[in-house]
């Protein structure tokens, strides 16, 4: 696993051991950033299930201002911190050991808004992602032109409309899919 492009292109990243963390494949990551294009230098990112931190680090490498990494596993938190130190992005990141729902409430209280929210949960229970998007909606933490990106199993069909969010794109890569949501106009 490596950083695909930008300031830290080619840097190798560590991944936590075990099956709970499945880092996004390089091919999928590269395709995602081809879709996104230029990442504005004022962008603030939420990597909602940090795992290894590779997705948030990719955003930082491509010019994002800040990234908040959230994970409830201490192993993942330690790997994220190691990868941030290795890529020299510790000064542009916040690493939070917490449940994603608790973190969303805290972000609301701090009046944070994210330009990109990336969610790649290690599992999908019935209604799990819908619950997260409900909390994002209630907390109003997605910037006006922000984008929510959900990586999920190809078999999982997410609704076209979820709260104030509308699915704007769906891409499939092998056994995975990326669903893109924006605020409805």
Confidence of residue 139 (pLDDT cuts 50, 70, 90): very high
User: What's the mean pLDDT in 150-170?
Assistant: 92
CB 99, CB 132: distance < 8 Å: no
User: What is the percent of the chain with per-residue pLDDT over 70, rounded to a whole number?
Assistant: 97
Which domains can be identified in the chain, with CATH numbers?
41-183 (3.40.50.150)
| pLDDT score of 81 | 98
Q: What is the pLDDT of residues 21-66, one digit of tens each?
A: 566 777 888 899 999 999 999 999 999 999 999 999 999 999 999 9
**This model's pTM is above 0.75:** yes
Within 10 angstroms of residue 137's Cβ, the number of other Cβ atoms is: 16
């Amino acid at each position: 696993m490596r950083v695909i492009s930008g300031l830290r292109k080619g840097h190798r990243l560590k991944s936590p051991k075990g099956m709970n963390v499945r880092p996004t494949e390089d091919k999928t990551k590269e395709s995602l950033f081809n879709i996104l294009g230029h990442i504005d230098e004022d962008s603030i990112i939420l990597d909602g299930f940090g795992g290894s931190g590779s997705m948030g680090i990719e955003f930082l490498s491509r010019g994002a201002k800040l990234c908040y990494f959230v994970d409830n596993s201490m192993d993942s938190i330690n790997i994220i911190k190691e990868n941030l130190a290795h890529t020299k992005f510790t000064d542009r990141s916040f690493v939070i050991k917490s449940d994603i729902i608790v973190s969303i409430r805290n972000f609301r209280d701090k009046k944070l808004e994210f330009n990109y929210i990336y969610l790649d949960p290690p599992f999908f229970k019935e209604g799990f992602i819908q619950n997260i998007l409900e909390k994002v909606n209630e907390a109003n933490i997605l910037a006006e032109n922000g984008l929510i990106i959900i990586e999920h199993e190809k078999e999982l069909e997410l609704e076209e409309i979820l709260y104030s969010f509308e699915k704007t794109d769906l891409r499939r890569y092998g056994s995975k899919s990326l669903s893109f949501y924006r605020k409805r106009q």
